[in-house]
Structure 1
Amino acid sequence: MEIFVLAFFVLGYLVLAGADIGVGMLLPYLGRGPEERREVIAAIAPFFLGNEVWLVASVGVLAGLFPQLEGRLLSENFVVVVTLVLAWVVRDMGLWLRGRLAGARWQGFWDGAIVAGSWGLALSIGSLLGDVLLGIHGPVALLPALVVAALFGAHGLAFAALRLRGPLRDRAAVLSGGAGEQRTYALTAAGLVLVALLAGLRLPLVPGASGAWLTPVIMAILPFLVASQAWVWWTFRGRVTGPSYL
């Protein structure tokens, strides 16, 4: 049961947050000017905070249920983990601050922070998965990280094609042939799930002693998390009609 709980949160994060990470990575391609970029960001605005809950939950479950594995991953990938956290902070700063003041320089700077932070997240996650799957360290680890980052980018394009309209949708639909956004989104989501599952099969998933009481608590909370996520997706299921609050 503990393994199921960890897999559920990790896979949920990769599929859900992978979309807004991919959109952030490709922000300069999707939005060619300040107003277009703001509309592109509106595509992920209702979701990105809720998606980050899955990352926090994944780390909490890892620390609470698999303390030995957490220690191993942190000790062997300390620089990567610190980079991931910094990239997360930088991206969120960009999302929150870009619209707080007017001016092309201000917005351009924070748009750059969104792009850099999104790439940092994708490459850090890719490095972690590459380490687990292939045991690769050092500069060579950039190769599997780039593969995973490309998968994030494709997932982001598919999500943007589902959410945007007009010329922005046309740019995002480059992988979908103009009409297959849902199919493309499902395929890229399946790709992220497959990579994560392959990595999970190579991990020593030995639960700690706290699982006996912590797992029932998590299982009791789980339906509320899923219901709230489903409510957000249902509420914002339509295409973006204009800029958001970000």
Structure 2
Amino acid sequence: MDVIWFVVFAVLFAGYFALEGFDLGVGLLLPVLGRTREGRDRMVAAVAPYVLANEVWLVAVAGTLFGVYPLLEGEVLFGLYPLVVAMLLSWILRDAGLWFRRRLDGFRWRGFWDAMIAFGSLGLSFCWGMALYAAATGFESPPVHPLGVLLGVVVTLLFAFHGWTFLAWRTPGVFGASRSGRSLLISGVVAALPAVGVLAGAMPYLLEHSAPAATLNVLSVMALPVAPVMLGAQVWVWRTFRPGKDAVPLPSFF
């Protein structure tokens, strides 16, 4: 059972990087590709239908981590406390930018919240790289380390590339390129590689720190009814909002 739950955790973690990665990537590219107000609106509208569905994966990752590996909760929160706070603040700023940017029509208002989207996306992307480095060292090395900073840069660049591929798939030709769904799948796999690499190296450690078998059995019973709903919602979102299917260019909630 511990091996099964490790696979579930790995799939959820890699899925978060592959899906939320293009959300953050589009935010990173907002100051680069969104040189006009219309361009920024198109970028946010392209990613808007996927944001909430993709963030569900992070909730599932956190729930699985603390349910299957309860002994790691203290290590993660204590060892990465400043980083966790920075990630939460970045998450709040990014989401606040998405929700508030169109609540008023002023140039400064939109410019401020667009900057918060970009800043929050940068903070989340960079901090994820440093968090992966700290996890790879067993939380024995501080995340603010030359190698941690390097991994932060790598993850940020991978997310930016994934976001660019997503825009080229979702809005072909609008930002100077067109990409197929296969290209988006490949860029998603590439964006998830750092997470997969760290998990592969940490597999023996995680298996040793799994919750007791009885706890894992209870978690299995609790997760079984939820898993099909989560997967079904993801399929619905991707089928509904694939290129050429959306009925309105700007969703009302962003």
Q: What TM-score does the superposition give when structure 1 sets the normalisation length?
A: 0.90
Show structure 1 runs of 5+ residues with no match.
none
What are the residue-to-residue correspondences of 1:191-210 with 2, within 5 Å?
A: 191-203=190-202, 204-205=205-206, 206-209=209-212, 210=215
Describe the SS at the equivalent of 1:88: helix
Q: Deviations over 1:112-150 (max 9, x none)?
A: 000000001101111111222355632422111001110
Tell me how many residue pairs correspond in the alignment.
238
Q: CA deviation at 1:201?
A: 2.3
Tell me whether 1:36 sits opposite 2:39 in the alignment: yes
Partner of 1:25: 28
What are the residue-to-residue correspondences of 1:55-70 with 2, within 5 Å?
A: 55-70=58-73
Tell me whether 1:186 sits opposite 2:185 in the alignment: yes
Partner amino acid, structure 2, of 1:156: G
What are the residue-to-residue correspondences of 1:161-240 with 2, within 5 Å?
A: 161-168=168-175, 170=176, 173=177, 178=178, 180-203=179-202, 204-205=205-206, 206-209=209-212, 210-239=215-244
Describe the SS at the equivalent of 1:67: coil
Partner of 1:112: 115
Partner of 1:244: 251
Q: What TM-score does the superposition give when structure 2 sets the normalisation length?
A: 0.88
Between the aligned residues of both structures, percent identity stands at: 37
Q: Deviations over 1:56-113 (max 9, x none)?
A: 1110111111111232222211111111111000000000000000110000000000
Cα gap change, 1:137/1:121 in structure 2, threshold over 3 Å: closer, same or farther? closer
Q: CA deviation at 1:158?
A: 0.6
Give the distance between the partners of 2:174 and 2:239, measured in 1 at CA.
Answer: 24
Show structure 2 runs of 5+ residues with no match.
none
Give the distance between the partners of 1:202 and 1:128, measured in 2 at CA.
Answer: 15
Partner of 1:138: 144
Partner amino acid, structure 2, of 1:138: V
Partner amino acid, structure 2, of 1:187: I
Give the distance between the partners of 1:4 and 1:16, measured in 2 at CA.
Answer: 18
Q: CA deviation at 1:194?
A: 2.4
Report the RMSD for the aligned CA atoms in angstroms.
1.7
Q: CA deviation at 1:182?
A: 3.1
Give the distance between the partners of 2:143 and 2:237, measured in 1 at CA.
Answer: 39
Q: Pick from 88, 105, 130 the counterpart of residue 127 of structure 1.
A: 130
Give the distance between the partners of 1:167 and 1:44, measured in 2 at CA.
Answer: 14
Partner amino acid, structure 2, of 1:235: T
Moved more, 217-226 or 130-139: 130-139
Moved more, 30-39 or 130-139: 130-139
Moved more, 129-138 or 38-47: 129-138
Is this contact kept in 1: 2:68–2:210, CA < 8 A?
Answer: yes
Give the distance between the partners of 1:72 and 1:201, measured in 2 at CA.
Answer: 19
Partner of 2:76: 73
Q: Deviations over 1:17-56 (max 9, x none)?
A: 1111100110112211112101110011101011111101
Partner amino acid, structure 1, of 2:171: L
Cα gap change, 1:220/1:242 in structure 2, threshold over 3 Å: closer, same or farther? closer
Is this contact kept in 2: 1:133–1:198, CA < 8 A?
Answer: no
Partner amino acid, structure 2, of 1:153: A
Give the distance between the partners of 1:235 and 1:33, measured in 2 at CA.
Answer: 28
Partner amino acid, structure 2, of 1:76: G
